[in-house]
Structure 1
Amino acid sequence: MLTHPLTTWAVDHPWPTAGITAAALAILGAALWGAIRTVRSWTWPPLPFLVAGAGALVCTAYSGDTSWRFAGERLGMVDSTERALMFGAGELALLACAVMARANKAATATEATAGSAGVPGVLVWVITGVQIIPCYATSGIVGGTVRAVIGPVLAGLLWHLAMGLEIRVARPEALSTGLPAIIGRELRERLLSRLGLATRDRTAEQITRDRATARAVHLAAVLELRPEGWLSGYRRRRLAAAVARSGAGTNGEQRHRLLQQLAARRTSGQLATVPLASPWAGTPVPGDPYPRTPLGVTGAQLRTMDPLAVVHLVRSAHPKDGPAEVAALCTEYGVPVSETQVRVALRAGNSLIASAAPALVRHVPDPAPVVPHGARLLPVHCRTALRRPAPAVAAARARTRPVVTAEYVPECPVLDPDDVPDEHDDEVPEGDRDVPDPDPLIEQARAEYGADVPSFRTLKTRYAIGQTRAQRIRDALAAEAS
């Protein structure tokens, strides 16, 4: 029994053989795992595209068999090598044109259109038509028809589907821009218009009503022109049937449409005498809705710019205008801005003319120490004035935080709470009505308080007197103390 030397070596050296086998299996597994990950990472086209491509390849091979036979029988290519190199020229050209047509279709596709295959798309059908000739030349009329349909014709159709199906799936509403597609759409629209089906979103019942309305209008107009005749009775019966079918008797909208169409048809002769204004005399040329700026920039150009840049341009053209005038000019040129935006753009700050506000603290002149009849005025109590912010000018410097300056009113001396008169000081007690002069309480207070000058409230509480008498006593004590 003959054995291979490698097998003999493996049997004689089991451990190295096991190591080599394990390493080979590991390398094979790693290569298989990498191949699977690579295949899974591919972005595969949709399944319909793959099926169409596979069918196109099979039909192209079927067409290639016809080309092989035609090259040997009709073209004289007896050498197998020559025939192998030349027979598939048409199929390769068909495949190349299909790929280039797909690339053109994807490059010219937009959101609204599906793109155009261009010249390669036309060449696909030209090559398909030329390849039909070998089919009939090789197999006759019957076999040639089978070979032509299954071979080049199906190959061209499937390649067309394969190159355009993915784009149509991504955007079903997209329209093709090819010449055959445009001609087909126009013919379809004209045919639908001729059949009265051009208006979309109508039910079959509404289409029947509209047709009956149009027929009723036509019959009514004919009966108006020829009320008598041997067909007048037939026309009246047809008119009644058309009106009934249109639903004008029960549907107000349909009745209004019927009357409007009939009125338009009956008065169509007035179109020849309708007065119209001549479009050739006195028609002004429509100009720019916004005036041209002094800088030579049109309103359309200004409206495409940033509003702050427009403010600077208008201000440079009108340097003496204020923010309000610049805002009005910008609005006139088609860029509506406010006065505040103009001040921000020009760093002009707020208006320096402050509105008149009521003063929080009024200056009270110092009263005279003595007034006629010996009466003394009450002291005036002042409070610290509130801070009054001064206007900040934004054009002076760039502001990073609010800056407020304030003016202060000097603080008035604070009086003793006991010297503040009560709210019932105007009332005169019974003991103050007939007071002799000099007041006897002055001597009593001088004896009790000495050089100290008591407050009004102390005197009023001690002697049960009013404000006027307590003030007179206190003034007398203060005069002696000074």
Structure 2
Amino acid sequence: MSITTLTGWATAHPWPATAAALTAVLAVAGLGWTAVRSLRQAARPSAAVVVAAIAAAACTAYSADTSWRFAEHRLGMADVGERAAMFAAAELALFSCGLMARANMRTTATEHTAGSPGTPGVLVWVITGVQVIPAYSESGPVGGTVRAMIGPVLAALLWHHAMGLELRIVRPGALSSGLPAIIGRELRERLLSRLGLAVRDRTAEQISRDRATARAVRLASRPNLRSWGQRRLAAAVARAHVGTDPNQRHRLMRELAARRGAAQLATITLPSPWEPEPGPAHPRTPAALTHQALTKMHPFDAIQRVHSANPGLHPAALASLMTEYGVVVSEQMVRIAIGAGNAPAADRTPAPSAPAPAVEPPHPLVLDIDTAPEVHPEVRAPALVSAAAQPRSAVHARVPECAPAPEPTPDAAGHETTAQDHPESAPESASEAAAGAHPSAPEPASADPLVEAARALGRPASLRTLKSKLGVGQARAQRLQQLTRED
């Protein structure tokens, strides 16, 4: 239908044409709104991915130009339609293999692995290698190199990164499980081991020391070493720094000892791996059998088993017997297992303690309290005595008991009289009465043999002089001083 026919029909039928036009506009608007909404909801790629995709598309177009020219000159596609339908087959295959490799990576990805592109990932590089041939065929060595690098090779690399096929970008800690990746890793590790670089985290100086140590071990293990070998050995030892580094020296000696004693490995006696290993020893004595049986049981079951064999034992004795059998239990556990109840509580009432006997302090000071008609001389002129020099820790006072009143006696005339009516029959002094009433009163001065010695020292002698000269104590010296003053 031509545009003129469509315009004539719309002029002849205005209302149906208007309805059709509005329906078409609404459909286009709906499709546009749906596309915009889908783009907004979709995760937006980063700017680097967008730029890489644009550059990959440009490189694919560069490769397509090479394929267009190669199809005309080498493949004999003179028809433009035929050439247009077939020239870009390799580019479309490259793009489709990249999409399938991306899908495989997302499908096989797990928590610890990044997934594998699989066969589509390998086909990407196979197609890239095939597309290099048209580049060199059309432009020669120089131009072909430019066409190959900017066209298929660069397009494959950019699609590889733009689609997220690079494992180091998707998951840095993951390793590829593809065959080329595995072969590459093995070759790299073997090459590093051959060069002596397999041990990581070593400085260049440490690598040189390790190599010199290995050379010194190899030379020192030879039985007959000539002068040139000795010089090489000395140089290797100096380069290894074994004289200043104790760790390097220890390593050198251990490796040299292992290399020299390698011949002894052929004579070492080793147990055969085909011989059965000895099993655990079986108990033979009754005590060992009982111990083995009880240790495999629960402690409460073991207690009940032993209690059934010894029903009359006290829980404490049963616990001791269980310990002898190798099952350590307490008396409380035994009581719980056999249902004997708790032990009777001990009487916690403290026993009345006997009163401590009164300790009589040594040499107590005894004071005889008595009345006197006059003040004593030592009270009128007291001597200075240090309180620290007094060893007395207690003072006892003895008060004389009151004498009973004398009973009246009848005299010759028949009158009752007392001792007060006859003063001549009373004691001469109060001191004599006290002495008669108290047998423990001190003896008179005439009975003390030290009184004369105290008088010979002079009147009055000090307490210190009396104690040092006569060898008496404080109380005795005071008594002697008192007697000498009374004289």
TM-score (norm 2): 0.49
- In terms of Rg, which structure is larger? 2
